Amino acid sequence: MSGGSQGSSLAFGQVVIGPPGSGKTTYCHGMQEFLGRIGRKVAVVNLDPANEAMPYPCALDIAELITLPDVMENLKLGPNGGLIYCMEYLEANSDWLQEKLAALRGHYCLFDCPGQVELYTHHDALKNVFAQLAKWNFRLAAVHLVDSHYCTDPGKFISVLCTSLSTMLHVELPHVNVLSKMDLIEQYGKLAFNLDYYTEVLDLSYLVDHLASDPFFRNYRRLNEKLVEVIEDYSLVSFVPLNVQDKESMRQVMQAVDKANGYSFGDQEHRSLEALMSAAVGADFHFTSTLAVQEKYVQSQDKAVEEEAMDL
């Protein structure tokens, strides 16, 4: 599909997944524009049959094959059952998808996926579609978006960690977890810990202790401890912070994804050794990106405290 160093038939792309409202469509639009500006030929493929008003130019739309409103009306299904039917229908008609994707030869593809969580945690239709894409020589990375406001609620954050881990194990693709809407995080309330605690998923026992101060969660301490043990035992989940409006933030996410799907190790865009190494760094890369967001967050909190003191 794309002209990579390993052969003309190789293609690269991202499958953008995550719960409803996490910013998948906004991410696809922003990443399409960002990659286009650095000279990468990008095509957005909409695999969400519930997407109607898309802000980006769509090269391929599942609506040509099936739409959620039609399924709900004709089969008398609800939105959840309808989405599952649509994904099973797409899997059964993979030849249609293959034919349409053949017209996008030479493009880097962004797959905008539905937001129904069970499609990525235990249902097999989308997982099988991704596996089929791999057979067609697509080198994909899953970009799993999570709204950053979950960081402000320890209980919800543990739930998000469990969902992210379950998704990583089920989808079976190189995975980049992203905390989206970082530009809005100060509006959600004060964080209990520094931001790097959440992005790097550090010692979660502190989170359990914080939860124990809540009378409601005190009775579930043992359950939370066991959930945290599962997350830490796998040691797979970490997050990259993202603000779609910030070019530096978009560049850092792009580098993490390019490393995950192998794009950064090809010869596209005349990559130099220096560029490859900058995309291949590990903890330092995450620390730097998190530090920039943390500084903005702390400055915002300090300003709020100063304003309160002046009011007094």
- Interval 21-34: pLDDT, tens: 899 999 999 999 99
- Interval 36-56: pLDDT, tens: 998 899 999 999 999 887 888
- Interval 82-137: pLDDT, tens: 999 999 999 999 999 999 999 998 999 999 999 999 999 999 999 999 999 999 99
Lookup: tokens for 156: 């919800």
Chain mean pLDDT for the chain: 85
Question: Helical H runs in 221-311?
Answer: 221-234, 247-261, 273-280, 283-311
Q: What is the pLDDT of residue 272?
A: 42
Any residues with CB less than 8 A from the CB of 213 and at least 6 apart, and which? none
Report the alpha-carbon distance of residue 119 to residue 127 in Å, rounded.
Answer: 8
Across the range 278-284, mean pLDDT stands at: 47
Q: What is the pLDDT of residue 267?
A: 53
- CATH homologous superfamily of 11-201+237-283 equals P-loop containing nucleotide triphosphate hydrolases (3.40.50.300)
